[in-house]
Structure 1
Amino acid sequence: MNTLFALLHIDGFAWPWLLLAVVLPWLAYRLLPARAQDGDALRVPWYARLHTLEGGLVASAPTRGFPWLAWLAWSLLCVAAARPQQLGPPVAPLQAGRDLMLAVDLSASMGEEDMQLGGRAVDRLTAAKAVLADFLDRRAGDRVGLIVFGDRAFALTPLTLDRDSVRQQLDGTAVGLAGRATALGDAVALATKRLQIQRAQQRVLIVLTDGVNTAGVLAPDKAAQIAHDAGVRIHTIAFGGDGSTVSVFGFRLPLGGGGDEVDEAGLQRIANATGGHFFRARDTEALAGIYAEIDRLEPVRRHGQVVRPKIECYPWPLGAAVILGVLAVLLRRRDR
């Protein structure tokens, strides 16, 4: 009964072509010549009459009939070899990962060439791109989105597992692309809006800026309060040196007042208001260390794609085939 129940509720076979082997014994029986019987040891004219006596004094010679019990065992063996399977209940495996947005400042001050990369002086945005590219390489399993801001904030990529797309969009940015001012509050608000559809434990925003809020319609402190109410955790990074530089006889000398002073206190308030961390990076080494620190933050476990595992059902027909096969052998020996 259990065998019949399992076979009636299968959802398919892993190797269905093996079911064709069911007809092999029948084909052999029909197409191959019968095995020649041994000659009689003694021929008597009254053999047929003795055979018809009540009780059968003489055992009948084996006939060329098809062994149905053995064929049934063979059929079940073929069914087991085809691997019948059932679909189990839906399962959503847990996956470790985070959903995070990157907000990158593209204001004019990001063009200050006070960073060192590979032994040469580069602007802040170029240095930030290099460090962010390495950060994205370690984001396997995370969904990452990208927001840039200047006079206004723009979402370049939504949350996605395709980190190559995020990297390509980041590489295509340039200083002043979104304007020359710094709409920090608007960037936080836009990121919060994009993250609101995610689960509360997965709402993370990383803000990279080198200035103070000079544009936009929303103050950074107000945007931080909105982010807090939406369950968004913000990590802020104040990036940049102490001003612009100029080359004199191959040496780079700082120019005082070359750029806006970083609003470290404001960025600290944003991070504290949302349960995040504030970091200060004056060079690429410090920035890389900051992203490594963020990388060590405890990941959030979330449910992955729902799947239905396949349950193997071959033990039932295999067990029945073994039982019927043994029974067929025993009955054949008894008939002898």
Structure 2
Amino acid sequence: MLQFLQDGYAGFAWPWFWLAFPLPWVVRWLLPARRTQDDALRVPYGRSVQAIAQRGGRGLPGRAAALAWLVWFLLCAAAARPQQFGDAVTPPVSGRDLMLAVDLSGSMTEPDMELGGAVVDRLTAAKAVLADFLDRREGDRVGLLVFGQRAYAMTPLTRDLQTVRDQLRDAVAGLAGRETAIGDAIALAVRRLRTQQDGQRVLVLLTDGVNSAGVLTPQKAAELAKEEGVRIHTIAFGSDGAMSVFGIPLPLPASSPEDIDEATLREVASRTGGRFYRARDTGELVGIYAELDRLEPVEQPGKAVRPRIERYAWPLAGALAVALLAFVLQGRRR
């Protein structure tokens, strides 16, 4: 018990159960004593029975009564749920609500990226880098949306990053159409983030094209994002025609200014307080997401708390032990 108090007694979760403690005394006081009738049957132990009857059933022998009250006291203590403070812990608090917007337009099938020494298309390279990025966002709430001719939310903001990875892995180019609706993708992300904590709303948008579909222009969508406090980091992803595999240069069609609208992406990022990045290969894309990790920290320490540990098992075990002791003493007395 002393150790229990030293370790941090937290109180009782259900203290009103202590109101039941005087209940046996109240019942004994209110109910009338039983009256015995004349003996109808003579037995050898009749005198003992008569002696008990003469006491009116008003109680037990002193030691037995004390043990009975102790058992009842311990049962009431267990029912009141005594609790103890555990060691202080500092839970992580999510630092960001992060939306990832990935371009699934037809141009993402362009095989101008290198991954593990092999030539792959842009979407495959982006998936690999994003999966690694998600591994470092443990503790944040992350959502995924994809866009092509239209924008679709694949997952809501969630801490279940495995679901986000699975949805990203299953995404295929052309799933949302062959064109590119950058403005609609931004607007959808803003709508998903607007109800979240102010100052922690971030959108990372990756595209390799020019806004060619949708209702909103990227500039108009950026204004909406600015009003809602959503910070947008934009990534223009596509080769510039220079690439090598195992040190062997390969001629590839370069992404022309008409292929990637860098000026618009730069303007969107600037208006919302974000940054614009240009990734010409997988290595640069990895570096960009590493920098985003520094710009958007994963978590910040929360307020230290001491969890409550249930200790009702202790008085319950004590009640059982006392009951067994009373049973043994009664047997020895007989």
TM-score band (shorter)?
0.5 to 0.7
Q: Indicate the residue corresponding to 1:9 in structure 2.
A: 15
TM-fit CA distance, 1:270: 1.1
Give the counterpart of 2:133 among 125, 132, 135.
135
2: CA distance between counterparts of 1:226 and 1:114? 34
Q: Indicate the residue corresponding to 1:235 in structure 2.
A: 233
2: CA distance between counterparts of 1:101 and 1:257? 26
1: CA distance between counterparts of 2:93 and 2:114? 38
TM-fit CA distance, 1:219: 1.0
1: CA distance between counterparts of 2:251 and 2:288? 26
Q: Which runs of 5+ in 1 are unaligned?
A: 13-63, 322-336
TM-fit CA distance, 1:126: 0.5
Q: Any idea what the Cα deviations from partners look like across 1:160-193, whole Å, max 9, x if unmatched?
A: 2222221121112222221222111111011111
TM-score, structure 2 normalization = 0.65
* Shift in CA distance, 227/108, structure 1 to aligned 2, threshold 3 Å: same
* Shift in CA distance, 257/69, structure 1 to aligned 2, threshold 3 Å: closer
Q: Give the 5 Å matches for 1:43-82.
A: 65-67=61-63, 68-69=65-66, 72-73=69-70, 76=73
Q: Give the 5 Å matches for 1:67-216.
A: 67=63, 68-69=65-66, 72-73=69-70, 76=73, 84-85=81-82, 95-216=93-214
Amino acid at match of 1:198: Q
Give yes or no for contact 1:188–1:227 (8 Å, CA) kept in 2: yes
* Shift in CA distance, 288/126, structure 1 to aligned 2, threshold 3 Å: same
Equivalenced residue count is 256
Structure showing greater radius of gyration is: 1
Amino acid at match of 1:298: P
TM-fit CA distance, 1:236: 0.9
2: CA distance between counterparts of 1:86 and 1:78? 15
2: CA distance between counterparts of 1:293 and 1:245? 23
1: CA distance between counterparts of 2:121 and 2:254? 16
Give yes or no for contact 1:105–1:182 (8 Å, CA) kept in 2: yes
Q: Any idea what the Cα deviations from partners look like across 1:227-268, whole Å, max 9, x if unmatched?
A: 010111111111111159899xx8621235678432222212
TM-fit CA distance, 1:124: 0.6
Q: Indicate the residue corresponding to 1:48 in structure 2.
A: none
Amino acid at match of 1:66: G
Q: Any idea what the Cα deviations from partners look like across 1:263-284, whole Å, max 9, x if unmatched?
A: 2222121111111122221111
Give yes or no for contact 1:113–1:123 (8 Å, CA) kept in 2: yes
2: CA distance between counterparts of 1:123 and 1:7? 60
SS at match of 1:212: coil
2: CA distance between counterparts of 1:190 and 1:122? 29
Give yes or no for contact 1:206–1:234 (8 Å, CA) kept in 2: yes
* Shift in CA distance, 168/281, structure 1 to aligned 2, threshold 3 Å: same
TM-fit CA distance, 1:66: 3.5
2: CA distance between counterparts of 1:204 and 1:65? 75
Q: Any idea what the Cα deviations from partners look like across 1:73-123, whole Å, max 9, x if unmatched?
A: 5654676688832699xxxx7723421111001112211111100101111
2: CA distance between counterparts of 1:200 and 1:310? 35
Give the counterpart of 1:221 among 209, 212, 219.
219
Q: Which runs of 5+ in 2 are unaligned?
A: 1-10, 19-59, 86-90, 320-334
